[in-house]
Amino acid sequence: MGLPISFEFFPPKTPEGAEKLRAVRQKLYALKPEFCSVTYGAGGSTQQGTFDTVGEILAEGVSAASHFSCIGATKASVRDQLATLKAMGVKRLVALRGDLPSGYGAGGEFHYASDLVAFIRAETGDDFHIEVAAYPEVHPQAKSPEADLQAFAAKARAGADSAITQYFYNSDAYFRFVDDAHRLGVDIPVVPGIMPITSSSQLLRFSDACGAEIPRWIRLRLQAYGDDVESIKAFGLDVVTDLCDQLITAGVPALHFYSMNQSVPTLGILDGLAQR
């Protein structure tokens, strides 16, 4: 395919999960990812698990990016974590505001991801490649699409190197977002985040929570398949492979796959693209 690809994992909660993820990673490494990222729970609740998984990926000889959220954090705690990651050999961060744990007031010294990006740059210079999030279909808590775009521009101006989008199934939303960002003078690479479709109930639950739009025709098809898992997977594979094909044809800088700690869905998509 020739296009850089990357994969996202989440920290496993059990020894069995960790073992399964090691096997999944080995299968995906065959595709020579540019890096693999590891997510971070609300309020940094999975921090140790995140750092442990990042350490394993680095030990396996692959570049690893740690998600890094700042809700509830202090400058001192962020400084310590940056030192830890640097000592581990991490060269990439995905800098996020992060979600508040339930029942938690908005404490901490950072209010926006742009504050975190600016702090990391000021503290560490060019030690880290900083990724930020982008929302082609507008962040669910944004006051307006324009406010969301300005927040994205603020992250770029604070020193972000590139962005990864929330997943989407409507490529026009992505293209419009990139055009609008260019209009504001933001020209960092915006990498589409790709979510394979393997389960309709899981996808609908995720999408309602994070504000990603499931186009009506996809939603209705998924509902019509009911509990027919094989049909859902085959349909999902087709839809997402077509989406990636459109994006590649349009010249996107890279693709970032939300693996959900599985290898088969992502390998299926990339295999399909290789045959086109």
**pLDDT for 180-214, tens place per residue?**
999 999 999 999 999 999 998 889 888 877 878 99
**Domains in the chain, number:** 1
**Using one digit for the tens of pLDDT, what is the confidence trace for 88-142?**
999 999 999 876 555 555 557 888 899 999 999 999 999 999 999 999 999 888 8
Domain that holds residue 77: 5-274
8 is catalytic: yes
Q: Are 21 and 273 in contact (CB under 8 A)?
A: no
Question: Does the pLDDT at position 255 exceed 80?
Answer: yes
Query: Rounded CA gap, 92 and 46, in Å?
Result: 18
Catalytic pick among 8, 60, 131, 213: 8
Q: Is the pLDDT of residue 215 over 90?
A: yes
Among 66-70, 78-82, 218-222, which is the least confidently predicted range?
A: 66-70
Quick one: what percent of the chain has pLDDT higher than 70?
Answer: 95
CATH code assigned at 258: 3.20.20.220
| Maximal CA-CA distance, the chain | 53
At 189 the pLDDT is 98
- What tens digit of pLDDT does each residue of 32-70 get? 999 999 998 765 667 889 999 999 999 999 999 999 888
User: Could you tell me which of 113, 157, 110 has the C-alpha nearest to residue 133?
Assistant: 113
Residue 251 per-residue DSSP state: T
